[in-house]
Structure 1
């Protein structure tokens, strides 16, 4: 016996099933959204001594391939940071026997991943967050195209340079056929002892003024994305990377008093001009016997100070670099052109919003900083480094 089923019954049953599925889906989505957002490691993590920073151009036009790459990178990062081998790869073993317990990998998305040459590449243009606005061209910039930009970035940090490079090699292997390496820079940060600020290649302490990463309120204000930012950026931060060439041979010909005037700090102690200890407040209002500021108006430390920038702060995570020798033309007298040390600073800075962070601070510095006669910005990029919920791959809320 065949039972007849009316179209109305089928329609009602279908609608009921769809409604049930919809309710279940909303409940599942709600449970995912309810999971706490984790910050990526390598942002507030204490700096390891070595970094290998690498960027990529996405060469696929398939969003599914990009998603698969982010899954591979996430799984590899989770395994490597847990002391295990990256899944699906035969390890190259050049780090066998090295201590690899203190490594971090941090991933970011550049503006050109969302749109490039007017093209919405992966249907993401409408989800580009406002803080990921292109950086303006600053006074004195000499950005080299081949060392600027990138659709994706990976910050690989470790306790030794070979491990940092090893991490970059792994992410590059996993990206084969989906993304090509664009530019990279290794860096180092020697330890000067526990609790002591490291010195850069100019001989001065670097990073004295930084937001207190032990204060959650300060981090929420200056480091992590705002609550009203894009949902996929919650728990994340924006990274400004800049390659800053330093003319160390020119700098080394300057006497220490001039160097201190340029920096606005004492070289040996790191204390402000006129002070005695490194972490004393900057001497921004004190005058000398002639009525002149004891910290010059165009001193580096003054122009970078929160007090001079409406309270703006960024979390600096910089590394020195050394790339051997290169023919370099100095920007200032004596305008020497010679085979010089290709050295500088891989400046990495995390912040809530680059428009009110790095850009606000650097616009004045680019115009007036005495340091500019020794430094030149030659490359870099801007990246959104999202947070992540447990069980998700990095960028899942953006790409799914």
Structure 2
């Protein structure tokens, strides 16, 4: 019997899209050799009307990277996007990148796949692509023939009060979010896409994340952040189709030059360092007051259980509100933000220490919104000024906003509607 890829029996079993993808080999084809095979139960479809990795049940691990594009050649950029599309489609189905994969190429040439995912399952890998504002124009000049195609919603995020943004952790022409239940699978995906882009792009920043800090499906329990509190209780979820249409997906009927984004979304990325040591010396009473929820169950301080709606009018001793006016829950709640919501998809991170004996750890915040101007910026401004947690216990060190185009159809490539008008 002919050898198959790691998890390569998926194609023999007729796994959705894998057999068809084998014909899409003009750019970045995948190998048909490797090690162990598994059932398709841990694969997520790559092709579809929406990109995977948004409403997909949030996996446990993240590797996200932003890239600066080095080439100024439009055709070379399109070729890279085609290569990336084919490689991502293969890797999400548990296959190797490249025509010969990790071990079957010429012995005296570098392998086309780096090989660290050999024998591992697909682990629900998703790969999600986005475009930064500087892909469209830079230093006042249009790039890649995209004059007039930058969506009005693809703004440069403002500098919020208290920000300590680092240029090397912010922005970028392109972003790729890889999520998986196995950290090595997520790292493998970004590593191989970066390798494919060598000479055309370079990594601007990257971030590893562990332990999701929100649920994107009602089948998932609410996780906890590094402050020990449940995070994302009121998140928009995959089952909330009406809310997704209102708050996450870009609607049709916009300006003609921006119609390529219809059905897509905007990814807000913020690296938020937590002052762990300060928080750990804070009393439980103060921690709960700052958050506005109980630490044990995540119930609002006004009473009930985790999913009870907060009662911001409820008062206690001396007629003081049970949920403080400067609490995180109050300031982030839709009732305080003209009803807007976000689909959050953040992760915890720990990047060693800062050399002063403090953990460099926190939350890598990711949210998908229909328009950051209405669904993120006003909320973040209010929280940066008035939220005790933001003012005393957090500092934002990285920032970016990216246009995430709609899903990719088999035979096409990511962002095709942007380049083919």
Give the TM bin, normalised by the shorter chain.
0.7 to 0.9
- 255, 259, 264: which one aligns with 2:287: 259
Aligned to 1:394: 414
Matches within 5 A, 1:347-358: 347-358=365-376
Matches of 2:113 and 2:94 in 1, distance apart? 13
What residue ranges of structure 1 are gaps of 5+ in the alignment?
Answer: 1-35, 328-337
Change beyond 3 A, Cα 1:185–1:303: same
Contact 2:58 2:212 in 1 (8 A): no
Change beyond 3 A, Cα 1:152–1:247: same
Q: What TM-score do you get using the length of structure 1 for normalisation? A: 0.86
Matches of 1:109 and 1:216 in 2, distance apart? 25
Contact 1:271 1:277 in 2 (8 A): yes
Aligned to 1:63: 74
Q: Tell me if 1:346 matches 2:364.
A: yes
Q: What TM-score do you get using the length of structure 2 for normalisation? A: 0.82
Matches within 5 A, 1:88-167: 88=99, 90-167=112-189
**Aligned-residue offset at 1:206:** 0.7
Aligned to 1:43: 54
Matches within 5 A, 1:191-340: 195-229=220-254, 230-327=258-355, 338-340=356-358
User: How big is each residue's C-alpha offset from its partner over 1:109-132, in whole Å with a ceiling of 9 and x where there is no partner?
Assistant: 000101111111112130101111
Aligned to 1:185: 207
Matches of 2:54 and 2:407 in 1, distance apart? 13
**Aligned-residue offset at 1:195:** 3.5
What residue ranges of structure 2 are gaps of 5+ in the alignment?
Answer: 1-46, 102-111
Larger Rg: 1
Aligned to 1:79: 90
Between Structure 1 and Structure 2, the one with more helix by share is 1
Q: Give the number of the structure with larger relative contact order, counting CA–CA contacts within 8 Å between residues 6 or more apart.
A: 1
**SS of structure 2 residue aligned to 1:125:** coil
Contact 1:269 1:276 in 2 (8 A): no
**Aligned-residue offset at 1:191:** 9.8
**Aligned-residue offset at 1:388:** 3.1
Contact 1:238 1:382 in 2 (8 A): yes
**Aligned-residue offset at 1:71:** 0.3
Matches of 2:385 and 2:302 in 1, distance apart? 26
Matches of 2:292 and 2:329 in 1, distance apart? 5
Contact 2:59 2:212 in 1 (8 A): no
Contact 2:346 2:365 in 1 (8 A): yes
Matches of 1:371 and 1:191 in 2, distance apart? 16
Aligned to 1:379: 398
Matches of 1:305 and 1:192 in 2, distance apart? 15
Matches of 2:214 and 2:325 in 1, distance apart? 30
**SS of structure 2 residue aligned to 1:184:** strand
Q: Tell me if 1:366 matches 2:384.
A: yes
